[in-house]
Chains A and B, each alone.
Chain A
């Protein structure tokens, strides 16, 4: 069995892994990327539409272009990577075991590990759609891979469930390839993806967007023959008598993404209820010296934010090697950050009190859309330490706050902070 030694091992060679690797390399540490696909770039390689890179490069790139820039840099820097390589185990002492066809089983010893495995799609089972189980049902991302990389079309007459960005982008993509997209069906009363995609992917081509409807049955024993959709009430319960049949041969599911944490679990890191590992403001998981970034931590809506987060993970990994690796330090005091009113989740889960140097970044998503709101950070005694006004919030937008705890009057006995989104308190106007 071959053994490798390095400073930092990065699991995943997509947007997150590449950015973290470059950052580590530039910081003067050795790094090794392990990628399960046959090339670097991850899911970006199949996201051939544009809209990537506005924050990072100040222009609109396609997914492959965005990835290629990082791949080129990895190659220029001679950062080593292994393709077609799957990690099968991470031990408590941070040994990684992986396999590939050429080397067999390999063992990698590193000072730190950065988890950058990305996310996966929710499936039909996760939403429990009744009906038959015929051919012709795809997750949107799987269909995207078939159309854009493998070179095959999933069907001709298509219904898409879920108005997330991937669903809408696939609606346009398939229309451009000569398919007939019959409808995009959304259970919520609003579109879950970006407005821009609603206009440019659906409206441009007259694809009906049917909100407040859920998929209630899949027809066809061998191949999909159609779907029944039904209007739902506020509790998402089907309204009797509202059923509509749509004839189609293909159903695409775009019903959400979940962080891909098989390995995180194997490694023994704690996972939060939203699916990503529990991390502190350094992006360090509950395992010392194991960091997480990108969609494996939280599903981002902009790759630019993945890049920024992953660079941060890379810098923190270097910091760890320089200051904390194999040093017995006193337990670091942490306070818990939790989700309050209208907050779906918040990251990080914990904030290290001892090392607050300047600002820390907080990300969250809301549960429900709202306008004219106020974001508060409160302590346990309900004292507001931070507030910010915002004209609107929507669940599909991940919100980023940069806060500086040094500027806040934090009670030394404070154990936890709560983030909440509440309506702005209107001044009374006569």
Chain B
């Protein structure tokens, strides 16, 4: 790429925040690119997230995140129509085991209604609660019902946002870790380990790394510390949950929830543990135990034997405890940092706010004539009727080869994931785009087949295929390579 090219806006970070800003800005006549450190977008905090779209009653009133969350929740309805990502407003329960908790829930309800969450309802009839959520513990005496809460697939939404932005000519550069930012004559020069990029404005959405990015320009007014949350995921169709189930919140956390996913799994988590290593996404014995014990209080018949995966995500906790969305002292540099929960819910509202800041900076926001806000829904084998299926396979035979048997994903869906805008280049990239490998066998069956397709499409040998980018190669050598090498070594020694 030519170094003379100057972007109007560079977004640093391809998580849900960076991508929702990219998508919000792609309708304007601006030259935009997004830089992502990992081999794929949505692979940081966005990937290991509860996927809960909160109603917005939880945060304290003094925080900007409260209003952004309430607004953000409403914006989902429009976004899902345009972007066709998996989202369902199934409603949430905050459960109470004690009378004091009921009192707290009543207070939360009152304040929520005052702030515009009109449908909050306190339910104290046990029978009705049980009818709405049969798996809930018998010890629960009341719940706060928030019908507007929902579940989204956070990474699929992020892919949708990014794809729509790419359709409207935002450029995405992956595996571009920012190592230096210079600022002179109102132009930012961003150096990554591979390239150099220039831009008039920079939006820092680097999540856990946002303080580091900010400090590259000497903006040292906040810190980010990672707070780990561990999860246990259960097989599909092993328990049917109708509602997102929260315990009554404490000062520190919303607590360990039990929740269905959009695709019919259930999960428990997250716990909350402050850590020091920003890269430490490992799960721990104690943490997983805490998660399962916490979850079992709310749903005693959790199918523990049907757990298929555990994972951990890191929340980017800002030293200010509130979202940091600022026009900084450096003209043209906007920080969007410390976006922990309810960041996913707030993402569309945050993007609106960023647009306001850009206007303040004098960025001209003229809507493109050919702006297309729609991202078509990815075609899925399982969505077709039998008649459609027969037709589809006859048009393109790769619909007729099932690669992932647990989730019934065809070769065509994998090809679409690889060939589409911002296509997958890794095993995880394929998995998070089209669910191949997400099922109960956790890629035991489909991995060799996915590798075969990736190898063919990317014209790479199997050994070069990675799980998630640099240094995550799956296989090390061909069978016989080690023996042949040994033979050669001995011959040389002779």
Contact = CB atoms under 8 A, between A and B. Distances in A.
B475 A152 contact: yes
A221 B279 contact: yes
Contact of B479 (A120, A132, A151): A151
A218 B282 CA distance: 8
Contacts of B279: 221
By secondary structure, the B interface counts as mixed
Contacts of A104: 389-391, 393-394, 400
Most chain A beta carbons < 10 A, residue from B288, B393, B400: B400
A135 B281 contact: no
A178 B483 contact: yes
Contact of A152 (B283, B309, B400, B478): B478
B148 to A, nearest CB: 32
A86 B401 CA distance: 8
Contacts of B386: 1, 97, 105
Contacts of A152: 462-463, 475-479
Nearest to A127: B307
A132 B390 CA distance: 42
A156 to B, nearest CB: 6
Interface in A171-223: 177-179, 216-219, 221-223
A188 B472 CA distance: 32
A146 B399 CA distance: 25
A135 B441 contact: no
Interface stretch (A4-12, A137-145, A313-321): A137-145
A145 B447 CA distance: 11
A80 interface: no
B448 A131 contact: no
Interface in A143-158: 145-148, 150-156
Interface stretch (B158-166, B249-257, B402-410): B402-410
B280 to A, nearest CB: 8
A36 interface: yes
Nearest to A123: B442
A135 B474 CA distance: 6
Given A126-B307, A130-B285, A152-B462, A177 B483 contact: yes
Given A133-B311, A156-B482, A216 B285 contact: yes
B400 A123 contact: no
A101 B401 contact: yes
B24 interface: no
Interface residues of B, number: 60
Nearest to B487: A178
A58 interface: no
Contacts of A36: 402, 405
The A interface is mostly helix, strand or loop, or mixed, namely: mixed
A155 B467 CA distance: 14
B447 A142 contact: yes
B398 A130 contact: no
A218 B310 CA distance: 12
Interface in A248-267: 249, 262
A131 B311 CA distance: 8
B132 to A, nearest CB: 27
Residue from A1, A104, A152 having most chain B Cβ neighbours under 10 A = A152
B487 to A, nearest CB: 10
Given A36-B405, A99-B400, A154 B444 contact: no
Given A131-B282, A151-B478, A155-B476, A120 B441 contact: yes
B466 interface: yes
Contacts of B441: 120-121, 123
B466 A135 contact: yes
A238 interface: yes
B152 interface: no
A242 interface: no
A153 B311 contact: no
B467 A135 contact: yes
Contacts of B75: none
A128 interface: yes
A382 B183 CA distance: 87
B232 A177 contact: no
A179 B394 CA distance: 45
Nearest to B309: A125
Contacts of B307: 125-126, 128
Interface of B: 232-233, 279, 281-285, 287-288, 305, 307-311, 386-387, 389-391, 393-394, 397-402, 405-406, 408, 440-442, 444-445, 447-448, 462-463, 466-468, 470-483, 485-486
22 contacts: A88-B402, A100-B400, A101-B400, A121-B441, A123-B308, A125-B308, A125-B309, A128-B232, A128-B288, A130-B282, A130-B287, A133-B281, A135-B473, A142-B448, A146-B475, A152-B476, A153-B477, A154-B474, A177-B480, A216-B285, A218-B282, A222-B471
Interface of A: 1, 36, 84, 86, 88, 97, 99-105, 120-121, 123-126, 128-136, 139, 141-142, 145-148, 150-156, 177-179, 216-219, 221-223, 238, 249, 262
